[in-house]
Amino acid sequence: MSRAFVVREYGGPEQLKLENVEVGAPGPGQLKLRNKAIGLNFVDVYQRTGLYKTPLPFTAGNEGAGEVIAVGPDVTGFQVGDRVAYQGPVGAYADERLLPADKAVHLPEGISYEVAAAALLKGATAFYLLHWTHELKAGETILVHAAAGGTGQILVQWAKAIGARVIGTAGSDEKCEIVRQCGADLAINYKTGDFVAGVKEFTGGKGVDVVYDGVGQATFEPSLDCLRPRGLMVSFGNASGPVSMPRLGILADKGSLYVTRPTGAGYFRTAEDIRTAADALFNMIELGRIKVAIDQTRPLAEAVAAQQALEARATTGSTLLLP
């Protein structure tokens, strides 16, 4: 038996119910893992509330790292005892789980379970946003919202490593200090200040090349005013609520802009896609170019409080749940 946080109805954090579940043996193409560390992500909240429809019931959680304890038929490349990490599919908030082998990546020696669980989903996202959604180049200028968050801190550090100029927003002065420590050229407290004016001033009125926006509703429209003509708006999340697309002509009015709404599911379609992103991320971590901030660590049993803190904007960096 394994403890697991199961969601049987969409709703508030109280819908995360700790249950004892039978995990069983891995089927064809599957691994059985003993989780060593589990990463918390905002997508876990969207799935729990039903904003992102996930077939019920499901075990929450999309990111983790652990030890392979059984290998299903037809699986090649993995054996019992291997150290692996994964991002998606759901089922991470548990002591043990089954996982499609094509979602697992091997951990290099220098990457701990904790770092992998704190960084794989967020860092693979940063990789695809900076390399595949837009191939970021040295000298380009970007705006990253919620830059002190789990995904935000990795995005800022990676963009700086590429050689971009980075403006980060965050919801307090303390968070802005973290954004600067990640290397951002400018940090703007968007709770107390006007980030559009800050971006205009920093760029001499030109605007940025790309906005990376995981905040959504609260920042989407003003972010369009931060872009240069033909700049790219990457709306990749909805921490403040989902964006309803305003009339299409707004993109013409504001300078022939581009908008995209990418998801991991759209970019990580094969095992090779995931391995490419994971290899690049682990390499950046091992080189010391990206530091993974594990700012909150809780026992797995505290998953409800962990999600409440994330929703209340009371976290920075990554949160780990430990089985």
Ligand X SMILES: NC(=O)c1ccc[n+]([C@@H]2O[C@H](COP(=O)([O-])OP(=O)(O)OC[C@H]3O[C@@H](n4cnc5c(N)ncnc54)[C@H](OP(=O)(O)O)[C@@H]3O)[C@@H](O)[C@H]2O)c1
Residue type, 34: R
What is the tally of helices (H) and strands (E) in the chain? 10, 16
- Nearest Cα to Cα of residue 299 among 116, 125, 141, 93: 93
Side chain identity at residue 139, one-letter code: G
- Closest distance to ligand X from the beta carbon of 170 (Å): 4
Min dist CB 75 to ligand X, Å, is 27
Query: What are 43's two structure tokens?
Result: 């997508």
**Chain residues that interact with ligand X, rule: CB under 6 A:** 41-43, 122, 125, 146, 148-152, 170-171, 175, 214-215, 218, 236-240, 262-264, 310-311, 313, 315
Q: Please say which residue, 107 or 310, places its beta carbon nearer to ligand X.
A: 310
Amino acid (1-letter code) at residue 210: V
Please say which residue, 148 or 281, places its beta carbon nearer to ligand X.
Answer: 148
Give the angle subtended at the CA of 315 by the CAs of 60 and 104, to the nearest 5°: 40
> Is 155 or 162 the residue whose CB approaches ligand X more closely?
155
Residue 111, C-beta contacts closer than 8 angstroms, at least 6 positions apart: 85, 282, 285, 286
CB-nearer residue toward ligand X: 66 or 150? 150
Q: What pairing do the DSSP bridges indicate for beta strands 141-144 and 208-213? A: parallel
Q: Which two tokens stand for residue 295?
A: 């700012």
Q: What is the β-pairing status of strands 294-299 and 16-21?
A: unpaired
* Shortest Cβ 319–ligand X spacing (Å): 8
How many Cβ atoms sit within 10 Å of the Cβ of residue 322? 16
What's the gap between Cα 51 and its chain centre? 17
Residue count of the chain: 323
Smallest separation, CB 287 to ligand X (Å): 22
| Closer CB to ligand X, 191 or 228, in the complex | 191
Quick one: which of 245, 258, 197 has its CA closest to 225? Answer: 197
Nearer to ligand X, 36 or 175 (CB): 175
**CA 289 to mean position of chain CA atoms:** 18
Whichever of 141 and 238 has its CB closer to ligand X, that residue is 238
Shortest separation between residue 19's beta carbon and ligand X, angstroms: 24
